[in-house]
Structure 1
Amino acid sequence: MLLQRVARTIGKYQMLRQGDVAGVAVSGGADSVCLAGVLRALAGQLGFRLHILHLNHGLRGAESDGDAAFVASLAEEWGLPWTIQRAELDTTHGNLEQEARRARQRFFAEATRTLGLSRVATGHTLSDQAETVLFRLVRGSGPGGLAGILPVTAEGLIRPLLEVERAEVRQWLGSQGLWWREDSSNLDLRFRRNVLRQRILPDLEEHVRAGSGRALARLASIAASEEDYWRESVEDAFRRSITGENPYIFNTIELRRLHPALIRRVLRLGLERTAGSLRRFTQEHVERLLRLVLQADGEGQAVLPGVTARRSFEWLRLAPPELERAADWAIGLPEPGRASAGPVTLEVVEDATVCPPPADGAECLYNVGRDWLDFDRLSFPLILRNLHAGDTYQPVGRDRPVKLKHLMQSERVPSWNRPDWPMIVSKGRIVWARRFGAAAWAAAGPGTRRVLRVGEVEGIRG
């Protein structure tokens, strides 16, 4: 009996507990009306309460308004509380299905917060699961994507009908004398899911193998179980291989110690956490990242949907595109003190503790560090700025000027750290650069009378 099967599904996945208040997403279509009816029949037995939710997308004019009125009437007839809202969708650009999905997610999250809901139930069926898995297969998803529609999500969505076929839904509605609304857009073959539903899956069932839908849903269940098994190992490998967060930076030497199957899952997790979801990615995107990890050459780039991956030396960075190139920045320092600009704060202070060279040749402070400048060789205001293309200077210890680009390559500075690299300039000449220290012409030496000490203030950004 369908009620018993749904009750088992609820128990198996711990979807609802006694005392919970479940929001029920009802569009007015057969699946959602069945969901509401089944949960209403089980509510007393399992000890939960219901609240009907409907979001009117307004995309079909009077038909959409009719759906909202139908849902309100159904909730009133059943004596259930209901909340109906109208969505304002941006239909001028982008994916309309995706925009509508985001609107529903916002609606469910707001309803959960304001109505005190424990979970929100949606009417996804086994048939929806089969369509999702088939679509992801042809789209190029990896093993993780084949898990399809999850019975319970981290956002609090539950799918009690996920082990019930669409045909069974309609049989149950007929046995209960319940009506539903038909959404005319479900027949629109401009939507890819409708092509799968109306043409591809029926052909598979009739001409390839009866039970294809159940086989695809079973594949999703197995994939979800295996992903759950992998989760702890992937998280542990992820943590061991990253050297920075926001954006994520991976040590490719650590990654290459892992089996390729685990590397793929670690990279997939990196994509998910960088982009916020995996909806826009396919397995081919993961494979492109894997090639960057495994290549011998330490440079390379892959531009993915909403994420730019860059390999530099032994590191791989995943970042949103907006982090790829920061704007140039600069600030004047009219006198010794603290200066903040871009991502850096420097202290340029006069230091009276530096002594002139003693007769016995013992070292003074300016011989110990590279960040000591001869005050009298400089002209204020000093300029704190980022690296510019072609910047060249001669650090202490070098016999000729050298491009900062070459210094950074020899010091294995990752390419994404270079644009914001801080330096100090006096009258157009570089006097100091991070890590490489003072310019030879501006460095404190035996004849120095007043010393400026340059130091980067840790933990403070400009």
Structure 2
Amino acid sequence: MPLYNGGTVLLQRVARTIGKYRMLRQGDLVGVAVSGGADSVCLAAVLRALAPQLGIRLHILHLDHGLRGAESDGDAAFVTSLAEEWGLPCTIEHARLDPNHGNLEQEARRARQRFFAEAIRSAGLARVATGHTLSDQAETVLFRLVRGSGPGGLSGILPVTAEGVIRPLIEVDRVEVRQWLGSEGLWWREDSSNLDPRFRRNVLRQRILPDLEEHVRAGSGKALARLASLAASEEDYWRAVVAETFERSIVGENPLIFNTMALRQLHPALLRRVLRLGLERASGSLRRFTLEHVERLLRLALKSDGEGQAVLPGVTAQRSFEWLRLAPAVPDAAADWMVELPAPGRAPAGPILLEVLEEATVCPAPADGTDCLYNVGRDWLDYDRLSFPLILRNLHAGDTYQPVGRDRPVKLKHLMQSERVPSWNRANWPMIVSKGRIVWARRFGAAAWAAAGPGTRRVLRVGEVEGFRG
């Protein structure tokens, strides 16, 4: 094999990548995540060589996951020695992960994210650089592609993240990394877990991608990485468009509620991205969602009838009439609640604060001699027909009453359907009971038997206190 002579070229390429993505600024203190493996050692050495040119300072970071016993201890010792040799400050932390955890890769990733966030906070780091390469990018895109990711997921590993992580080697492949280390006389440690077939990424790295390169098309890895770059550029364009459309499409934010009539006006490409953003807002991450999850949500949003539900990873989507609600995974059924109101006054009633107040004067005597009580509204009750304490409670199955203006009793469930009350609001619906009978229900007003009318001497007015959030 000819002697590798691309050392200076590699440094120049990494410097261009850093500038292209505006990864660093002069004066930055940069954390460098070093596992001891080839990619991370190359990253640290390259940044050390470029530090005078870039005007940055470095701080080595190493997280021991505690999964490989003496081998892990050796990695930590190697990184510590490397930092001492280069005269760089070094932080070593230890995580204790369960090797029998169902998704060990995910647990390790979360541990690293916590470690980086704490290092940024405690050491005053501007960024944390990781050794992800073009080869890692290709593996990520291929994995997401076969997993069923949408266009956004094909962006792969981002060069710069909102959390402050940067990937200066993202345009350098793994072969170049090892060639450069050899030319510089630098050593690294091999992680035995990289050969463990339990990890899906290792299967892609050791078997699938080499087969693609050999039997399908040479340069497949670079083609996948170019796809990631193209997808990232496309998503950068869509971001502002989607955010603006998203804000126009929602009618509530906690939890998220979409107006499906607005969603129906969108092109499917834009609609998928708006719903995808909704999933991200509702769950905090898109990591568990695939294109199939977005498609299920799209079908729920566009269905002709207004009822339905889809349980997605960590999120429950509910459709009711023209609204689509996204909320964290379905909680247990709402618990019944009951509050006694011993005398006129205020009391919490589930989502609202009710006030039931005695009115000394209903209204001035009308000039035409009619009884103004006919016009006081559906939230006025005849005090003398009620018995304190009043009971404030939520809707119960089968609840029936006859509101003012109705000629017969009706189930509250049917009233809510006719008034288009979303299904997720019904179980917690407030009402007032006296002597075992419903005397008032939110929005639907007084029961005919308890309403103020001719002959009423004392009146109770029911109202909601504005600004209360139960």
Normalised by the size of structure 1, how large is the TM-score? 0.98
The residue correspondences of 1:338-357 to structure 2 (distance < 5 A) are 338-355=346-363
Q: Does residue 61 of the first structure (1) align with residue 61 of the second (2)?
A: no
Q: Does residue 121 of the first structure (1) align with residue 141 of the second (2)?
A: no
Residues 234/365 of structure 1: CA separation in 2 closer, same or farther (3 Å cut): farther
> Structure 1 CA distance, aligned partners of 2:123 and 2:454?
75
> Structure 1 CA distance, aligned partners of 2:83 and 2:374?
81
Aligned mate of 1:75, from 62, 83, 98: 83
Q: Counterpart of 1:8?
A: 16
> Structure 1 CA distance, aligned partners of 2:329 and 2:125?
37
Aligned mate of 1:447, from 452, 455, 468: 455
Cα distance, 1:461 vs structure 2: 2.7
> Structure 2 CA distance, aligned partners of 1:331 and 1:322?
26
> Structure 2 CA distance, aligned partners of 1:436 and 1:187?
67
Equivalent pair of 2:315/2:330 in contact (CA under 8 Å): no
Q: Counterpart of 2:199?
A: 191
Equivalent pair of 2:127/2:166 in contact (CA under 8 Å): yes
Q: Does residue 143 of the first structure (1) align with residue 156 of the second (2)?
A: no
SS at match of 1:441: helix
SS at match of 1:155: coil
The residue correspondences of 1:5-404 to structure 2 (distance < 5 A) are 5-91=13-99, 93-323=101-331, 325-355=333-363, 360-362=368-370, 364=372, 367-404=375-412
Q: Which whole-Å deviations, capped at 9, do the CAs of 1:157-210 have from their partners, x for residues lacking one?
A: 000000000011111111111111111111001111000000000000000000
Equivalent pair of 2:394/2:430 in contact (CA under 8 Å): yes
Cα distance, 1:368 vs structure 2: 3.2
- Given residue 230 of structure 2, which amino acid in structure 1 is its aligned partner? I
Deviates more, 1:368-377 or 1:153-162: 368-377
> Structure 2 CA distance, aligned partners of 1:385 and 1:399?
25
- Given residue 434 of structure 1, which amino acid in structure 2 is its aligned partner? R
Equivalent pair of 1:25/1:32 in contact (CA under 8 Å): yes
SS at match of 1:234: helix
> Structure 2 CA distance, aligned partners of 1:207 and 1:92?
36
SS at match of 2:78: helix
Residues 296/201 of structure 1: CA separation in 2 closer, same or farther (3 Å cut): same
Q: Which whole-Å deviations, capped at 9, do the CAs of 1:349-378 have from their partners, x for residues lacking one?
A: 111121497583446256231110111111
- Given residue 265 of structure 1, which amino acid in structure 2 is its aligned partner? R
> Structure 1 CA distance, aligned partners of 2:98 and 2:403?
56
Q: Counterpart of 1:460?
A: 468
Residues 43/326 of structure 1: CA separation in 2 closer, same or farther (3 Å cut): same
> Structure 1 CA distance, aligned partners of 2:374 and 2:58?
75
Cα distance, 1:295 vs structure 2: 1.1
Cα distance, 1:342 vs structure 2: 2.6
Equivalent pair of 2:15/2:50 in contact (CA under 8 Å): yes
- Given residue 317 of structure 1, which amino acid in structure 2 is its aligned partner? R
Deviates more, 1:336-345 or 1:304-313: 336-345
> Structure 2 CA distance, aligned partners of 1:213 and 1:365?
80
Equivalent pair of 2:349/2:430 in contact (CA under 8 Å): no
Deviates more, 1:353-362 or 1:173-182: 353-362
Structure 1: gaps of 5 or more residues: none
Cα distance, 1:324 vs structure 2: 6.7
Cα distance, 1:100 vs structure 2: 1.1
Cα distance, 1:45 vs structure 2: 0.8
> Structure 1 CA distance, aligned partners of 2:460 and 2:97?
59
Equivalent pair of 2:313/2:329 in contact (CA under 8 Å): no
SS at match of 2:450: coil
Equivalent pair of 1:151/1:158 in contact (CA under 8 Å): yes
RMSD over aligned CA atoms reads: 1.4
- Given residue 216 of structure 1, which amino acid in structure 2 is its aligned partner? L
> Structure 2 CA distance, aligned partners of 1:285 and 1:236?
23
- Given residue 241 of structure 2, which amino acid in structure 1 is its aligned partner? S
SS at match of 2:106: helix
> Structure 2 CA distance, aligned partners of 1:457 and 1:151?
50
Deviates more, 1:82-91 or 1:258-267: 82-91
Deviates more, 1:423-432 or 1:128-137: 423-432
- Given residue 413 of structure 1, which amino acid in structure 2 is its aligned partner? V
> Structure 1 CA distance, aligned partners of 2:443 and 2:395?
13
Structure 2: gaps of 5 or more residues: 1-8
**Identity of aligned pairs, percent?**
85
Equivalent pair of 2:373/2:454 in contact (CA under 8 Å): no
- Given residue 362 of structure 2, which amino acid in structure 1 is its aligned partner? V
SS at match of 2:449: coil
Equivalent pair of 1:357/1:446 in contact (CA under 8 Å): no
